[in-house]
Amino acid sequence: MDDVQQVRVVGPLELYAAGFAAELTRLGYTVFSARLQLQLAAHLSRWLAGEGLDASMLTPAVVAQFLVVRRGAGYTAYRSPKGLSPLLGYLRGLGVAPLPVPAVAQGPGEVLLERYRSYLVGERGLGAPTARGYVGLVRPFVVGRVTADGVDMAGLSPADVVGFVLAVSGEQTPKTAQRTVSALRSLLRFCHVEGLLGAPLAAAVPSVANRRAGLPRFLEPAQVESLLASCDRSDVAGRRDFAMMTMMVRLGLRAGEVAALGLGDIDWRRGEVTVVGKGPRSERLPLPADVGAAVADYLRHARPPGALDRCVFVRVKAPHRGLTPGGVTQAVIAAGGRAELGPLTAHRLRHTAATAMLRAGTPLAQVGQVLRHRRALTTAAYAKVDRDTLRTLARPWPGGAA
């Protein structure tokens, strides 16, 4: 830390430099990274002094002005708001810098969409990311109904609904179009409940076909071995990624479920793990011995001791916060590249877990329980990979060869 404090900060942020350096050390920043952060603070402090400003005036607009100056001065690093996040977070935590003001919805369309988003989260129990996704999908529909008097939902007809679906289905992939019509039905139900529609129009939304003749894509056992072997278990990131992917190929966890897993969700005595899935719904699953061993190895030898939250899997680089679902997915993609398995998604590992259970003779209903499917029809898609069982159901072709 003494090496870090050799960076001289003058100006209005000088009072906070020592505390910021200590905070960076606590967060797990290396000496080199912490020094860069202090140099950034020094530049910002000099600029504030030159402009006659202090830390209490670090609004988003002022920060944007500083970043313009920094880019113009030829700096190649820390030229975006993200680079200033550690410093601003520290100053805001002290109550010195102002907290960012939440954006206020502008215009009748955005106001309606914000009400719809709140409805999804508060009344329907959707997660915030899922609700944002729904809002994004139906935004073009709402924007198309905006008039000088507001959002014209009262004059909406089934033909208008069908016309919108036909228009977007020609521009989107079948999977995205299916999500769009699901979101549109949800929006129309919300508008009916709110009294914006005189009649329920959700039933007027046509379905979008997405016929896939192929089987669910999964990895063969040898490919799973290659994937796991690509993780360097002498390395912190390798131990973490090995534990995550062992859990995914054995239990079929989604990327978001892996990211959300907390230290308190693992019951080592009972050999169980609590998974928070969609909804959110919490369900307990048995913890296989190989999964438990991989996770325990990571927790003992690789998880940063100064992690900032109780997530099991955290970032390797400071600040050591829990991984996001995107971070989990990127780890899978990187491992697939190292193992030369081609483009690989986190969901492919879920398919792999389901296929392995079916091949081991696990009944389809039990596979659905492990995968935490709400509908048996969702699990039934995996029956297509069990060719031996399907052959017993097939009747002989009339007049065919014996």
Residue 148, pLDDT > 70, answer yes
Within a 10 A sphere around the Cβ of 370, how many other Cβ atoms? 20
**Secondary structure letter of residue 262 according to DSSP:** B
Q: What is the pLDDT of residue 399?
A: 59
Weakest mean pLDDT among 5-14, 30-39, 269-278, 360-369: 360-369
Select the highest-mean-pLDDT range: 44-48, 118-122, 366-370, 395-399.
44-48
Q: Residue 213: which pLDDT band, with cuts at 50, 70 and 90? A: very low
Alpha carbon distance, N-terminus to C-terminus of the chain: 81
Q: Residue 126: which pLDDT band, with cuts at 50, 70 and 90? A: confident
Mean of pLDDT values over 83-94: 93
Mean of pLDDT values over 53-60: 93
Tokens 């894509």 sit on residue:
217
49 is written with which tokens?
């002094």
Mean of pLDDT values over 37-44: 95
Weakest mean pLDDT among 167-171, 198-202, 373-377, 380-384: 380-384
Q: Give the span between the Cα atoms of 362 and 341, in whole angstroms.
A: 27
Select the highest-mean-pLDDT range: 79-88, 123-132, 389-398.
79-88
Percent of the chain with pLDDT over 70: 88
pLDDT one-digit tens code per residue, 153-163: 888 999 999 99
pLDDT one-digit tens code per residue, 222-274: 999 999 999 999 999 999 999 999 999 999 999 999 999 999 999 999 999 99
Mean of pLDDT values over 129-144: 92
Within a 10 A sphere around the Cβ of 201, how many other Cβ atoms? 21
Q: What is the largest CA-CA distance in the chain?
A: 93
Yes or no: say if 238 and 232 are a contact pair by the CB < 8 Å rule: yes
Q: What kind of fold does domain 221-389 have according to CATH?
A: hpI Integrase; Chain A (1.10.443)
**Secondary structure letter of residue 352 according to DSSP:** H
pTM for the whole thing? 0.71
Kindly list the catalytic residues: 254, 278, 347, 350, 373, 382
Of 365, 341, 339, the C-alpha closest to 354 is: 365
Mean of pLDDT values over 100-126: 85
292 is written with which tokens?
């438990």
Q: Residue 210: which pLDDT band, with cuts at 50, 70 and 90? A: low
Residue 311, pLDDT > 90, answer yes
Report phi then psi at 267, rounded to 5. -100, 100
Mean pLDDT of the chain: 87
Yes or no: say if 312 and 248 are a contact pair by the CB < 8 Å rule: no
Could you tell me which residue, 256 or 383, shows the higher pLDDT? 256
Weakest mean pLDDT among 1-15, 106-120, 217-231, 314-328: 1-15
Q: What is the pLDDT of residue 281?
A: 73
Of 313, 343, 345, 347, the C-alpha closest to 332 is: 345
- Alpha carbon 184 to chain centroid, angstroms: 22
Top-tier CATH class for 107-204: mainly alpha
Residue 386, pLDDT > 60, answer no
State which amino acid sits at residue 121: V
b/e 124-157 (16+ beta carbons within 10 angstroms → b): eebbeebbeebbebbbebbeebeeeeebebeebe
Q: Give the span between the Cα atoms of 292 and 271, in whole angstroms.
A: 8
Yes or no: say if 18 and 5 are a contact pair by the CB < 8 Å rule: yes
Mean of pLDDT values over 319-328: 91
